[in-house]
Amino acid sequence: MTELPAEAAQVVAGCHVGSDAMRRSAEVAGNGAVLARYAADYPAGPHDQPQSMCPAFGSLRVGLRMRRTATVLSGSACCVYGLTFVSHFYGAKRSVAYVPFSSETLVTGKLFEDIRDAVEDLADPALYDAVVVTNLCVPTASGVPLRLLPKAINGVRIIGIDVPGFGVPTHAEAKDILSGAMLAYARGEAEQGPVQAPRGGPASRPTITLLGEMFPADPMGIGAMLDPLGLAVGPVVPVGEWRQLYAALDCAAVAAIHPFYTASLREFAAAGRTAVGSAPVGRDGTAAWLAAIGEACGIAAAKVATAQNRFLPLIGEALAKAPIRGRITLSGYEGSELIVARVLVESGADVAYVGTACPRTPWSEDDRAWLEARGVPVKFRASLEDDLAAVDALAPDLAIGTTPVVQHAKQKAIPALYFTNLISARPLMGPAGAGSLAQVINAALANKARFETMRAFFEGPAEGEGGR
């Protein structure tokens, strides 16, 4: 066993030592390269800690949604409890394995041996294609070397990742950490020889891989729009099982629907695949996206025009039938905030502010430029304070945002909707997405008078720490 350096051992007391101390400890303990990569892939914003849920929730959710994939967490018991609770609250149906530790096992290196033993016990090829092991804050800061785990045991792939709160800004980006690690592993396998085919067999047409979690109907809608181009929809990354990784890499191009998947896009680039930003949202977005896909795949302009002429009028009609009138502020941490804003603008809404907790990337540039050309300010790496200030300054008719933004708006008698559950959980792409938000948006806008009545009735009591 190898004992930790003295400075790294200081974090055993817990994560209350602060992010700076944990970062220094991780560097001393040998995890500096991991943090440097994360700093480049996910540049931090004005806040040095995630303002949403623990980032490891994102990678944990990716693994728990995959067939034949086991998940192991290494971290403080309180963190593991919280992560497993929220994961099952969001619909996870499988157990999460946990390797506990003490000050002694962490400092002496015994924790790594315990993790390795646990992985060896789990690695049953009859049950699993892969085992994912995730270091949380304290093991990362202490330098627990998951990179030294075997690459495979009994034919079961072993994927070790670090997802510390002091190095990963959002849980959305943690999805990319695990997806990127899996794509890198799968790409290496494909380069060595034949790999497992998709369940339905190889695609008969060149495919477009979709990057980013999507409403289930959207890939089908995109497939219909790609059909006139002679293309088909490939897997959606994050994938549902390991074999889909090979099919995802074997694409004609990859669509960065959510533009923050930096590590995943690096793997597609290494595989020689072209990435296309934005998404087929609204009339303008669909026209530009189909043209970009056609260019990336070498499709004749006439075929692209055929697809555009078939679908753009349908989108225009759907938008016209479901207008949205009102001033809206929009913020979130899912990564789809800009494309949602585009749909709202084309629906007639006055979108006064767009804030996303995700960073600005080359694949979000088209959406940013389109929005800003229409007078919509876009704030990347927006903090909660930014989002709240926008609600206060702009006095919208409707605020769309995270839970604290919704709470803040409703206290001001402003109708509000939770982005994750009520907005991103709807189709956005093509004709099905056009007008899909109008019903819920217009219903919320119509609640302004009700909110004013409730504020007038309840104003005063229970304000402040003690209420009255």
Q: What is the pLDDT of residue 90?
A: 75
> In this structure, which topology does domain 207-316 adopt according to CATH?
Rossmann fold (3.40.50)
The string of pLDDT tens digits covering residues 293-316 is 999 999 999 999 999 999 999 999
Average pLDDT, the chain: 91
CATH class of the domain comprising 322-457: alpha beta
Q: What is the pLDDT of residue 18?
A: 73
Question: Mean pLDDT, to the nearest integer, of 452-467?
Answer: 60
Question: Mean pLDDT, to the nearest integer, of 382-410?
Answer: 96
Label the pairing between strands 156-162 and 152-153: antiparallel
Domain with CATH 3.40.50.1980 in the chain: 19-169, 207-316, 322-457
Q: What is the pLDDT of residue 201?
A: 87
Q: What is the pLDDT of residue 93?
A: 80
The string of pLDDT tens digits covering residues 173-185 is 999 999 999 999 9
Question: Mean pLDDT, to the nearest integer, of 359-382?
Answer: 97
Cα 248 to chain centroid, rounded: 17
Q: How confident is the model at residue 451 (pLDDT cuts 50, 70, 90)?
A: low
Question: Mean pLDDT, to the nearest integer, of 202-229?
Answer: 95
Which two structure tokens, joined as six digits, stand for 451? 């909110």
Which of 101-110, 217-226, 373-382 shows the lowest per-residue confidence on average (mean pLDDT)?
101-110
Percent of the chain residues topping a pLDDT of 90: 78
The string of pLDDT tens digits covering residues 74-128 is 999 999 999 998 888 777 788 899 999 888 888 888 999 999 999 999 999 999 9
Question: Mean pLDDT, to the nearest integer, of 369-394?
Answer: 97
Residues 6+ apart with CB under 8 A from 405: 331, 384, 387, 388, 391, 399, 416
Q: Which phi and psi (to 5°) does residue 213 adopt?
A: -65, 135
Decide: 165 and 192 in contact? Cβ < 8 Å: no
Nearest to 286 by CA among 266, 315, 326: 315
**CATH 2.40.37.10 corresponds to the domain 19-169:** no
The total of other beta-carbon atoms located within 10 Å of residue 45's CB is: 18
Q: How confident is the model at residue 23 (pLDDT cuts 50, 70, 90)?
A: confident
Q: How confident is the model at residue 52 (pLDDT cuts 50, 70, 90)?
A: confident
Decide: 46 and 74 in contact? Cβ < 8 Å: no
Helix (H, G, I), strand (E, B) or coil at 372: helix
Nearest to 265 by CA among 321, 193, 212: 212
